[in-house]
Amino acid sequence: MSSPLPLKNATLHDVAREAGVSLITASRALSNPALVSDKTIARVQNAVAATGYIPNLLAGGLKSRRSLTVAGLVPTISVPQFLPTVRALTETLDAAGYQLILGQSGYDHSREEKLLNTMLSRRPDGIVVTGLVHSPAAREQLRRQGIPVVETWDLSDRPVDMMVGISHVKVGGAIAGFFLGRGWQRMGVATGDDHRAMMRYEGFVATLGRDVPTAFVPAPTSLERGRRALGELLEKDPHIEAIYCSSDGFAHGVMIEARARGLRIPQDLVVCGFGDADFSAHIDPSLTTAHVNGAEIGRLAAQMIIDRCQGRPIAQSHVDVGFRIIERQSTAVAA
């Protein structure tokens, strides 16, 4: 090392000069070493260390048209349901050299369009959205970019491009069917008002074939809102037997409020949530819920983007990861 590292950020030009090679050879030594002799590679690497060089991906991306970034849009990062997905996305992308740029669209469709534009101006190599892209303008916008797009956590007949998720209508139907199979008739629903929760609600009601007392709350749901929602449902039907809640935190609130009102779970009231949160198996009573493999959704979405970027064929561009109802103590009534 000739001197203490210089203050100004070194460029590839500096590295090349230090190594005594041309600019492009230095470039290749770092990003495509197969084309360069071992001796040269070593000299370039020494020069990198000596200069404290950090590559400028912005400059490289401008020419190569690969930013090595992927844009991720979630309604809000505060809702724990999507955390495993975001985490798996980040990790899978990172392993392939891509960085996730996270955007929060809120539960407001007009913001979706604006945020999308902001994201596109960074020229991501792919886009992953949580839920479907709803605005037609945004859908058209996305198609025109010609970059891979994955819609997640939902399924639809008209995807923008690729898709990995579940059928929320089926989830709602399965939970209603589960309640019916156990002979519970006086049901209730506590649900958020976002698109996916409403799909589950519709599936629930469709399978049941009739309306049920329902507490609607604005998304995102929370434990606190669950406590209030139970109050609302008990007003509508004081003898309610079984409640489906659109999230596990929400269901947890219903259970706590039930206990506070002297209702025993599951003897007096059974509860089923959605999402299988990390706490759901461990609270007391443990919570029956519909499990969805959120990490798998993130991993698959990332892999689809990566494969497409690298020109590999996509095994399946429309994946239903499915769900399963996990029966726990909150619905475990003696026969």
Partner DNA sequence: CTGTTAGCGCTTTCAG
Partner DNA sequence: CTGAAAGCGCTAACAG
Would you tell me which residues interact with a second copy (CB under 8 A)? 5, 7, 9, 52, 54-59, 61-62, 67, 69, 76-78, 80, 83-84, 86-87, 90-91, 94, 99-104, 117-123, 141, 144-146, 222-224, 227, 249, 252-253, 256, 259-260, 278-279, 281-284
Whether the ω angle into residue 266 lies within 30 degrees of 0, i.e. cis, is yes
CA distance 238 to 155: 36
- The two three-digit tokens of residue 213, written as one number: 């007392």
Nearer to DNA, 3 or 121 (CB): 121
Binding partner at 23 among DNA, a second copy, none, C-beta below 5 to 8 Å by kind: DNA
Q: What's the helix, strand, coil split of the chain in %, to 5? A: 45, 15, 40
Nearer to DNA, 168 or 308 (CB): 308
**DSSP E strands, the chain:** 69-74, 99-104, 126-130, 149-152, 162-165, 187-192, 214-217, 242-245, 270-274, 288-291, 318-320, 324-326
Sites of contact with DNA (CB under 7 A): 9, 11-13, 21-25, 27-28, 30-31, 34-37, 39-40, 53, 55-56, 59-60, 62-64, 66
- The two three-digit tokens of residue 158, written as one number: 């008209």
- Cβ at position 218, least distance to a second copy in Å: 15
Binding partner at 120 among DNA, a second copy, none, C-beta below 5 to 8 Å by kind: a second copy
Binding partner at 22 among a second copy, DNA, none, C-beta below 5 to 8 Å by kind: DNA
- The burial of 55, by beta-carbon neighbours within 10 Å (0-12 exposed, 13-18 middle, 19 or more buried), is given as middle
CA distance 227 to 256: 7
- Cβ at position 280, least distance to a second copy in Å: 9
Binding partner at 63 among DNA, a second copy, none, C-beta below 5 to 8 Å by kind: DNA
